Structures are given as structure tokens and as C-alpha cells.
Chains A and B, each alone.
Chain A
Amino acid sequence: MSSTLGVLSDAERLFIVHGVQDDLRSDGRACEDYRHVQVETDVVSNTSGSARLRLGNTDILVGVKAEMGEPDPGRPKEGKLEFFVDCSANASPEFEGRGGEELAIEVSNALQRIFNSRSTLDLTALCIIPEGQCWVLYVDVLVLECGGNLFDAVSLAVKAALFNTRIPTVVVTADDEGQQEIELSDDPYDVKRLDVDNVPLIVTLSKIGHRHVVDASWEEELCSLARLTVGVTQKGTIAGLNKEGSGSLDPESIYEMIESGKKVGMVLNSRLKEALEKEENSKREKIGFLG
């Protein structure tokens, strides 16, 4: 059996393109509507922070692990974030073997790009001893199912996992000889959290026909030749921008796409924050993977 993902008939494609033109997509959404998102944090117990997110059929699991390491020589007073994306063969038969590697690198590069901006996450908070020790956050992304719009789903899940991340408090003491010692708190609840308010989310805008849509399903992705991935923060600033796909874009439509990306991205940021805060304040039982 071979996968049917990857090809559409001409008539199907036409149906989708006309639908986008009418602002009525195949599943009844308008061009700027997102599919339903479900998010849950703290689903993997042996991580510092984790989240599982479903966007339509796309299913993402993110785990964040904090370890001590040495800072980059260029940025001695900052901690580090390392991204690793795994497109498991469970997500799509095309990912079997090394098939998913290229996509995985693309996604981790996109994440690296939007987190590179110093205004997004305060990396100095991860510093323990300048030029000596810092926290390295290993962000592992596992793609469990791929139903379109991978970039947006991954960035939502990463932000949720970082929100959930708890880093143990450490105290640095200097002994008589000037040697510094790092002491870890005995209390497992003595932790500090990251300020994720300014962490950007990726909004992918796919050009279909003469219009663009957000949150394209996999069928719609096949109809689009050019995509713009925009990293948008809560305040609406752009933290990263990338054009993908084989097609070209008119500068004017790029401007339009950035505008709608910004608009949607700001709403997305605030809704995610609401949901995460709601989860934290409610004493609900974890659903996990058996829900």
C-alpha cells in the first residue's frame, strides 16, 4: 500500500482553490480561521516541562529538559536553547528511514530563527556563572501525526512546554580560595520558571490562488506553491520571517500576508496564554495519552 498523501487530482485542487476564493474552505472555515487546538502540559513526568498539542489532525509532543553546560563564548552571560525535531515514521509513511530528516531540520531551523532574537526569551536568566556554567534547555519535539500546518503546531507546543518548564534553583557560593561551588536546592518545589510572554508563535500563511489562508490542512498545502512563515509575538512584533515553497510572491501580497499573520498571531498568543493559565489554575486531572 502506498500513501495517498502527496497527490491530488486536478479537479480536487480546483475545488479547493475556488473555495479559498469564496472565503469558504473545504471544512467550512474562512481564510483566517484556525482549526480547533487542544493543548495539555506536564504530560511526560521525567522532563522539566512538556506539552502535547493537537491542531486538527496534527499531533505534537514536546519535552524540555534542563541540563547544565557551558555557555557560548560569544554570549558568556546567557543560557542556551537547543532544538531537536523528530518526525517519527508514525506520523507519515514518508518519514520512514531518513525521509523525515529534511523536514525536521527545516522545523528546528525555523524555531532557532525565531528564538534567536534577544527580546523573545530572557536567556540571561539561564546563566549560573558567567563564562562558566549555564542552563541548557534541550527542547525535543516529536511529531506524532502530521495533518498539515506543522510549523504553527510545533511552535504552539514549544511555547506551551516552555511555559510549563520548571528549572531547579541553584545557589552559587564562593569558598575561601575563590572557587565557586554550585549548590542545588534540596526542595523539589524550589524552582524558577521562564517568562514566556514574549516567546513568538509561528503563523504560516499559504498562498492559494489569489488569496492566502492560515492553518492550511494537508490538502490545502498541496495546492499552495508559496508559503510565508512569520514569527509573531504577543505584542504583534515580527521575530522571524521566511518564504518557502517553489512559487514566488508579489511584494504587495507579502505585506498583506504579514499583516494578517500579525493579526492572527496576536490572537493566537493570547488564546494560548488563556488556555495555559486556565489549566494551571484548575485542579483537573491529566488526560494524557489515554483520553
Chain B
Amino acid sequence: MAVHITLPESRKKSAAPDAPKHLVTPGDVITTDTGYMRGHGTYMDDDKLKASLAGVVERVNKLICVQPLKTRYNGEIGDVVVGRVTEVGQRRWRVDVNSRLDAVLMLSAVNLPGGELRRRSAEDELMMREYLVEGDLISAEVQAIFHDGALSLHTRSLKYGKLAQGLMVQVSPSLVKRRKTHFHNLPCGASVILGNNGYVWICPTVDDEKVESSGGYEQDLEPVPSTDREVIARLRNCILSLATHKLMLYDTSVLYAYEASRQYQVKDLLQPDIAEKVADDTRQRLQMESG
């Protein structure tokens, strides 16, 4: 039995990890130079470019954007997302992906069980609840963005589809680093899907052949062995400690945090001081490698 009650600690000012970023709050003047283009999170006022969000200023050539730290997910085509089905409707599922509007997964945008390629019939429509019901978690890719900002998803690849046993954690979408791949089979014995929308899925490693033979619809409902479960729990706590200390999430940072956490017990990682140590160790190691 473990019960820890402490007093809150004031936030320490971390020694500036890298060059000071250009941080702004809403209304701050970013530039008075008129030669720049107005991007997301900015507006023009009296010929001055001002920030409408609190975050980091990012510049691509002449385009200036503000990337907020706390935000809902703004989807982009090709993003990998993890989402939860909230509604089964006419030829579509509604999926919560942490954006302002629920995303849509059309029946025509999924692989049918068995990998059949054909027009979707009325029977398929009636069978929709057999594939995905409310509460189910899926991984998917953003296919298109509607004019109102809602996302259209697709799962037309074997790597996407319904998720089986494992757990989901939620972090800020701005903390997920964009990479070539967001599916990682980590060497520590678990798989992680770092959804661009800030939903992170951690599950026991599945071998790809099994998935291909079942078309991604069969779920393994056997109990997960304790050793795998411990790895998953440790990864969960590591990812959350990285997120609370505002470190970017990608395969290397997650793995380094996992290694830094090895000296502690899994449940001890829930304590703020130990979580901070793990995040600090990870930050130092990443900095050393980068330069």
C-alpha cells in the first residue's frame, strides 16, 4: 500500500535548454515589417503583425505563424491520428480526434474484413456496427479536410484500423513531433502509436503477419502477460512525464525516457519529483546527442 501526500512545489525555472525561443502572448507585436505574410495565429493591426495565440513564433521564409502550446488538434492531410468512435451514422462513423469538430470515417474509406475490394452494399451498411461501435479506438490517416475544418479519415492500409488491447494517453498535440512514421515497435517490448492529434496508443507488440492474415479486424483478447503490462505501464508514465515537462514526443525521446526510468519502480514514476528527474535526464541526453 502506498499513499503519498505532499505540498505543491513551485515550478522550477529550467535552465534554458536551447536558444531562447520567440515566445508571444495574444496581442504581442511580432514584427512591424510589412514584408511578411500573415499565417496561423497572427493578425494585422495598424500595419503591425500581432499574435492571436500564446505560443512560439515560427517562420518559414516570409510566412509567420504562431504555434500554440495548448490547442485542439488542427488536422493536416496525411497525419496519423488515434481516435475514438463516438457515433455510428449513415455510411459513416463519427470519430473523436481531439479537434474542434468530430472527424468522419466513411464506410467507403475502410478496408472490409477479409480485404475484399468491392462497392459497399446496403448489407455492409447494416453490418457497420459489427466492425466498429461507439467507444472503439482506431488508428487512421487524415484523407481530407472539409470546408468547416472537420476531418475525413481513412483506414485503407493494414497498419490502420481497430486497436485491440492496450491503453491510450492524451497529451497536447503540439508535443508530438512530426516524423516519417508514427508507428514504433520499441525494442523494450511494446508498440506505440504517436498520433498527431495528441492521442498516444501503447500496446503489446503485435506481429505483422497475424494482422495481415486477419485483415486487422480480429482482436487478440488473451490476457497480456505481466512483463508486457509492466513495460506498457512504464511507457505510459514516461510519456506523461515527458509531456508534463514539455518535451517533444518521438521514438528517441520516448526510448531515452524509458531507459532513464529503469532505475525506478513503475508506480514511483507517478510522483512529480521522480517524473521530473526522468524528464531532465532525457532532455540532457537528447541535448548531448544533438550537439
Query: Is A291 touching B10 in the complex (CB atoms < 8 A)?
Result: yes
Q: Which residues of A contact B224 (CB under 8 A)?
A: 15, 18-19
> How distant is the Cα of A152 from the Cα of B78 in the complex, in angstroms?
44
Query: Is A272 touching B7 in the complex (CB atoms < 8 A)?
Result: no
Kindly supply a per-residue 1/0 record for chain B positions 210-251, scoring 1 wherever the CB is within 8 Å of any chain A CB and 0 otherwise.
000000000101011010011011101100000000000000
Kindly supply a per-residue 1/0 record for chain A positions 11-33, scoring 1 wherever the CB is within 8 Å of any chain B CB and 0 otherwise.
11011101101101111111011
B96 within 8 A of A: yes
Kindly supply a per-residue 1/0 record for chain A positions 28-63, scoring 1 wherever the CB is within 8 Å of any chain B CB and 0 otherwise.
111011111111100000000000001010000000
User: Least Cβ distance of B224 to chain A in Å?
Assistant: 6
Query: Is A4 touching B96 in the complex (CB atoms < 8 A)?
Result: yes
**7 residue pairs, one from A and one from B, having the closest CB atoms:** A28-B266, A7-B135, A28-B233, A28-B267, A275-B5, A32-B1, A37-B5
Query: Is A1 touching B102 in the complex (CB atoms < 8 A)?
Result: yes
Return the contact of B3 from the options A10, A12, A22, A267 (Cβ within 8 A).
Answer: A267
By secondary structure, the B interface counts as: loop
B134 within 8 A of A: yes
Residue with the highest number of chain B CB atoms closer than 10 Å, among A14, A26, A264: A26
Starting from the known contacts A15-B166, A22-B226, 18 additional A-B residue pairs (CB-CB under 8 Å) come to A1-B99, A3-B96, A4-B96, A9-B137, A14-B165, A27-B236, A27-B267, A30-B267, A33-B2, A33-B3, A36-B6, A36-B270, A37-B3, A37-B6, A38-B8, A278-B7, A285-B10, A291-B10
Q: Which residues of A contact B175 (CB under 8 A)?
A: none
Return the contact of A271 from the options B5, B8, B223, B230 (Cβ within 8 A).
Answer: B5
Q: Which residues of A contact B163 (CB under 8 A)?
A: 9, 11
Kindly supply a per-residue 1/0 record for chain B positions 260-275, scoring 1 wherever the CB is within 8 Å of any chain A CB and 0 otherwise.
0000011101111000
> How distant is the Cα of A143 from the Cα of B98 in the complex, in angstroms?
23
Least CB separation from A3: chain B residue: B96
> How distant is the Cα of A284 from the Cα of B6 in the complex, in angstroms?
13
Residues in B81-102 with C-beta less than 8 Å from chain A: 84, 86-87, 94, 96, 98-102
Query: Is A264 touching B3 in the complex (CB atoms < 8 A)?
Result: yes
User: Least Cβ distance of A279 to chain B in Å?
Assistant: 5
User: Least Cβ distance of B237 to chain A in Å?
Assistant: 6
- Give the number of chain A interface residues (Cβ < 8 Å): 50
A263 within 8 A of B: yes
Q: Which residues of A contact B102 (CB under 8 A)?
A: 1-2
Q: If A1-B99, A33-B1, A38-B7 touch, does A15 touch B165 (CB 8 Å cutoff)? A: yes
Q: If A7-B84, A7-B135 touch, does A272 touch B5 (CB 8 Å cutoff)? A: yes
User: Least Cβ distance of B225 to chain A in Å?
Assistant: 9
Q: Which residues of A contact B265 (CB under 8 A)?
A: 28
Residues in B125-143 with C-beta less than 8 Å from chain A: 134-137
> How distant is the Cα of A33 from the Cα of B267 in the complex, in angstroms?
9
Query: Is A40 touching B8 in the complex (CB atoms < 8 A)?
Result: yes
Q: Which residues of B contact A19 (CB under 8 A)?
A: 224, 229
Sample of 12 A–B contacts (CB below 8 Å): A2-B102, A9-B136, A11-B166, A12-B165, A14-B221, A16-B167, A18-B229, A29-B267, A38-B5, A39-B7, A275-B6, A285-B10
> How distant is the Cα of A36 from the Cα of B226 in the complex, in angstroms?
23
> How distant is the Cα of A7 from the Cα of B182 in the complex, in angstroms?
25
Q: Which residues of B contact A40 (CB under 8 A)?
A: 7-8
Q: Which residues of B contact A21 (CB under 8 A)?
A: 223
Query: Is B8 touching A287 in the complex (CB atoms < 8 A)?
Result: yes
Q: If A9-B136, A9-B137, A268-B3 touch, does A29 touch B270 (CB 8 Å cutoff)? A: yes
Residues in B1-51 with C-beta less than 8 Å from chain A: 1-11
Kindly supply a per-residue 1/0 record for chain A positions 98-118, scoring 1 wherever the CB is within 8 Å of any chain B CB and 0 otherwise.
000000000000000000000
Query: Is B233 touching A12 in the complex (CB atoms < 8 A)?
Result: no
B164 within 8 A of A: yes
Residue with the highest number of chain B CB atoms closer than 10 Å, among A8, A263, A285: A8
